[in-house]
Amino acid sequence: MGIGETAADRWVLRRANGAQDVPLESMKSQMGPDVVDMRHLYQQAGVFSYDPGFANTASCQSAITYIDGEEGLLLHRGYPIEQLCEKASFTDVAWLLSHGELPDARQKARFEQGLMAEAHLHEQIRNFFNGFRRDSHPMAMLCGTLAGLSSFYGNQEADQRHRITPEEREMSTLRLVAKMPTLAAWVYRYSRGLPLIYPRPGLSYAENCLHMLFSMPEAPWQVNPVLARAFDRILILHADHGQNVSTSTVRTVGSTGVNPFACIAAGVAALWGPAHGGANEAVLDMLDEIGTVDGIPAFMERVRNREDGTRLMGFGHRVYKKLDPRAGLMRRICHEVLAELGMDHDPRLELALRLEETALNDEYFISRRLYPNVDFYSGIILRAMGIPSSMFTVFFAVARTAGWVAQWKEMLESRPGISRPRALYVGQTRRDVPSSYGAEN
């Protein structure tokens, strides 16, 4: 019995009204809980399963990311996130997610060359930006321009055939990972009225992100290896996180066979929501609101009393009930970056550390198993680096593109058929439009 195949365990759906029981089979997982196979439930029993939000439903088989929220474990293709963060670069991790193994020296060199070659955007894309208001939210511009890219990089033949060949998959994966930093940086430059900066050969992926954000034609951004490495690790920490809402969106939209740029634009839209990608911005707002360490007791009181729904932003996670392994790494990066920038006595950091310590020793948080999540520190780091908070989610999207394309590719390779959930219908039964309707309109 192999992984992903029928397991020895058998289940029975017992019906109380004396009708025949429905036998169900389970499927073996490599790690974590097995799943009960519901694919034939309707044919067998004439009912659908009900699981709004799919919180208890495995929507696919995947070999990319494993998360154990109880143990605080995050593995990409089997490798712990801590080891990847220490030993690999973001581009290594992007390759790993898509190809299953870390790249060897030749693959790495070719991949990085390919990323550089594909980092440019078609010149006409500059025109897209002129259609946006300067004060548009950067995610609106990212989402719109990314979908628009499908008209430049779409394969019309593939669209007609409703089939994307393995070569096209590889090319789209490369292009999307390559072009996202340029697009993200241009979104920022446009909103500030700054000249658009092109990717520069010889810089790493993370260095190019910072170069395109901060360089001026007359004053190129000076490479700072500490900041570049920190930024690279932030990208690694956001690269993939299993079947979260944006990834599930990418799989669902991609199951229609749509152009991959349009498909990833759908993922960007899903990420935009404050319940998903926008929490690090909210952490900074919260720190501003608390003001100084003296404001912590009163704020914590408001959280405990749920005054106006106040929550400690950057704490708690839908999956992790132990420390999110990415949060500890992010904390270390935060100290490195602030030390490099001479901001290690930054009052905001002191406030964040005291808040964290207070919460970790507070019965309210202990009893609910609420720990800091990845967003608690990422906002502080990015703002210290000079990246405005409205751009945080944009760079989350740049990083997550590595995961989205890997999941998109895996979905296509498994040939799942189009996604099509059902609903428990609670509306009107059949009725006729009144014969008088429309007569007086």
**Interacting residue ranges for ligand ACO, rule: CB under 6 A:** 276, 279, 303, 311-318, 368, 370, 373-375
- Smallest distance, Å, CB 275 to ligand ACO? 6
89, amino acid identity: S
Q: Which of 115, 312 has the CB closer to ligand ACO?
A: 312
Residue nearest to ligand ACO (CB): 316
210, 228 Cβ separation under 8 angstroms: yes
Q: Which of 126, 368 has the CB closer to ligand ACO?
A: 368
- Is 375 catalytic? The answer is yes
- Smallest distance, Å, CB 360 to ligand ACO? 13
- Smallest distance, Å, CB 324 to ligand ACO? 7
135, 191 Cβ separation under 8 angstroms: yes
Q: Which of 176, 374 has the CB closer to ligand ACO?
A: 374
Q: Which of 92, 375 has the CB closer to ligand ACO?
A: 375
Phi, psi of 260 (to 5 degrees): -60, -30
Q: Which of 76, 211, 241, 317 is catalytic?
A: 317
Q: Which of 67, 197 has the CB closer to ligand ACO?
A: 67
- Smallest distance, Å, CB 79 to ligand ACO? 20
- Smallest distance, Å, CB 99 to ligand ACO? 25
Q: Which of 221, 231 has the CB closer to ligand ACO?
A: 231
Q: Which residues contact 96 (CB under 8 A, 6 or more apart)?
A: 76, 77, 79, 84, 88, 102, 103
What distance in Å separates the CA atoms of residue 165 and residue 159, rounded to the nearest whole number? 11
- Smallest distance, Å, CB 167 to ligand ACO? 34
- Smallest distance, Å, CB 317 to ligand ACO? 5
- Is 345 catalytic? The answer is no
Q: Is 135 exposed, middle or buried (0-12, 13-18, 19+ CB in 10 A)?
A: exposed
Closest CA to 316 of 271, 360, 255: 360
- Residues β-bridged to residue 315: 372
Q: Which of 156, 367 has the CB closer to ligand ACO?
A: 367
Q: Which of 103, 316 has the CB closer to ligand ACO?
A: 316
What distance in Å separates the CA atoms of residue 147 and residue 167, rounded to the nearest whole number? 21
- Smallest distance, Å, CB 104 to ligand ACO? 32
Instruction: Give pairs for 147-150: CB < 8 Å, separation 24+.
Output: 147/261, 147/262, 147/265, 149/121, 149/122, 149/125, 149/179, 149/183, 149/261, 150/259, 150/260, 150/261, 150/262, 150/265
Catalytic residue IDs: 317, 375
